[in-house]
Chain A
Amino acid sequence: MSDVTRTGNKAVVTPSRNITAGMTDSLRKELKSLLDEGVTDLTIDFSRVEMLDSVGIGLLIAAHNSLLKEGAVLRLTGVNQDVMGLLSTMRLTSHFSIHSSHPS
Chain B
Amino acid sequence: MDDEILLMFQEDTRESLAGVEARLLDIEEAGEDHDPELVHEVFRSAHSIKGSAGFLALDTIRDLSHKIETVLDMMRTQELQPTKGVINVVLGAFDRLGELVEDLAHSNLMDVSDHVQALMALASGSLPPERQQSVTTMRRVAFPDGRTGFEVSEHDLARARVGGNYLYLVEYDLIHDLQRKEQTPFDLLAVLGKSGMVLDCRVDLGAVGDLGQAPANYVPMYLLFACILEPDMVKAVLQVDQERIHTVPVEGEGSTQADPTLTQGSLLSPAAPVLDMEAPLPQEDNSLDPDELAAMEREFDLAMAKQTGGASGDVALGPESEPQAGETVSGEESAPLETIADSPEQEATGFEHQGNGDKGSLLLRGALTIDRAQELKQALLAALDTSKQVDLEFRDVVSVDLAALQLLIAAFQSGKARGIGVSCVGDLGPLLDFARSTGFTSDTVKLYGMESFLPSEA
Could you give, for residues 371-412 of chain B, a 1 whenever the CB lies within 8 Å of some chain A CB and a 0 otherwise? 000000000000000000000000000000000000000000
- A80 in the interface (beta carbon within 8 A): no
The CA of A25 and the CA of B215, in the complex, are separated in Å by: 8
Select the stretch in B201-209, B251-259, B322-330, B433-441 that faces chain A: B201-209
With A69-B210, A88-B5, A91-B185: A62-B215 Cβ-Cβ less than 8 Å: yes
Q: Are B4 and A57 interface neighbours, CB within 8 A? A: no
With A54-B217, A58-B216, A65-B205: A91-B5 Cβ-Cβ less than 8 Å: yes
- A59 in the interface (beta carbon within 8 A): yes
With A90-B174, A91-B203: A66-B217 Cβ-Cβ less than 8 Å: no
- B448 in the interface (beta carbon within 8 A): no
- B57 in the interface (beta carbon within 8 A): yes
With A54-B218, A55-B215: A62-B55 Cβ-Cβ less than 8 Å: no
Q: Are B215 and A28 interface neighbours, CB within 8 A? A: yes
Q: Are B179 and A61 interface neighbours, CB within 8 A? A: no
Partner of A58, one of B4, B184, B208: B208
Q: Please give me the residue from chain B that is nearest to A59 by CB atom.
A: B215
Closest Cβ of chain A to B106, distance in Å, is 13
Partner of A57, one of B56, B185, B217: B217
Q: Please give me the residue from chain B that is nearest to A53 by CB atom.
A: B217
List residues of chain A with CB within 8 A of the CB of B217: 21, 53-55, 57-58
- B211 in the interface (beta carbon within 8 A): yes
List residues of chain B with CB within 8 A of the CB of A28: 211, 215
- A31 in the interface (beta carbon within 8 A): yes
- B176 in the interface (beta carbon within 8 A): yes
Closest Cβ of chain A to B321, distance in Å, is 36
Q: Are B57 and A94 interface neighbours, CB within 8 A? A: yes
The CA of A57 and the CA of B386, in the complex, are separated in Å by: 58
Q: Are A62 and B209 interface neighbours, CB within 8 A? A: yes
Number of interface residues of A (CB under 8 A): 29
The CA of A89 and the CA of B55, in the complex, are separated in Å by: 11
- A93 in the interface (beta carbon within 8 A): yes
Partner of B205, one of A32, A61, A85, A88: A61
The CA of A65 and the CA of B211, in the complex, are separated in Å by: 8
In the complex, which range does the number of interface residues on chain B fall in? Answer: 20 to 34
The CA of A66 and the CA of B206, in the complex, are separated in Å by: 10
- B419 in the interface (beta carbon within 8 A): no
Q: Please give me the residue from chain A that is nearest to B205 by CB atom.
A: A61
Q: Please give me the residue from chain B that is nearest to A34 by CB atom.
A: B211
Q: Are B212 and A66 interface neighbours, CB within 8 A? A: yes
- B320 in the interface (beta carbon within 8 A): no
List residues of chain B with CB within 8 A of the CB of A93: 3
With A89-B5, A91-B57, A91-B203: A58-B215 Cβ-Cβ less than 8 Å: yes
The CA of A95 and the CA of B204, in the complex, are separated in Å by: 12
- A63 in the interface (beta carbon within 8 A): yes
Q: Are B213 and A62 interface neighbours, CB within 8 A? A: yes
List residues of chain B with CB within 8 A of the CB of A58: 175, 208, 215-219
With A32-B212, A62-B211, A66-B210: A86-B179 Cβ-Cβ less than 8 Å: yes
The CA of A21 and the CA of B56, in the complex, are separated in Å by: 28
Could you give, for residues 1-34 of chain B, a 1 whenever the CB lies within 8 Å of some chain A CB and a 0 otherwise? 0011100000000000000000000000000000
Closest Cβ of chain A to B297, distance in Å, is 37
The CA of A54 and the CA of B215, in the complex, are separated in Å by: 11
The CA of A51 and the CA of B3, in the complex, are separated in Å by: 19
- A35 in the interface (beta carbon within 8 A): yes
List residues of chain B with CB within 8 A of the CB of A91: 5, 55-57, 185, 203
List residues of chain B with CB within 8 A of the CB of A62: 208-211, 213, 215-216
The CA of A94 and the CA of B58, in the complex, are separated in Å by: 10
Closest Cβ of chain B to A32, distance in Å, is 4
Q: Which 7 A-B pairs have the closest CB atoms?
A: A66-B210, A54-B217, A65-B210, A32-B211, A58-B217, A55-B217, A54-B175
Residues of A with Cβ closer than 8 Å to B? 21, 24-25, 28, 31-32, 35, 53-55, 57-59, 61-66, 69, 85-86, 88-91, 93-95
* Contacts beyond the supplied A61-B208, A85-B4: 18 A-B pairs with Cβ under 8 Å: A21-B217, A25-B215, A54-B218, A55-B215, A55-B217, A58-B175, A58-B219, A61-B205, A63-B210, A65-B208, A65-B209, A65-B211, A89-B5, A90-B174, A90-B219, A91-B56, A91-B203, A94-B57
Give me 13 A-to-B residue pairs in the complex whose CB atoms sit less than 8 angstroms apart, sorted by A's number. A31-B211, A53-B217, A55-B217, A57-B175, A58-B208, A58-B219, A63-B211, A65-B208, A66-B211, A90-B219, A91-B56, A91-B185, A95-B205
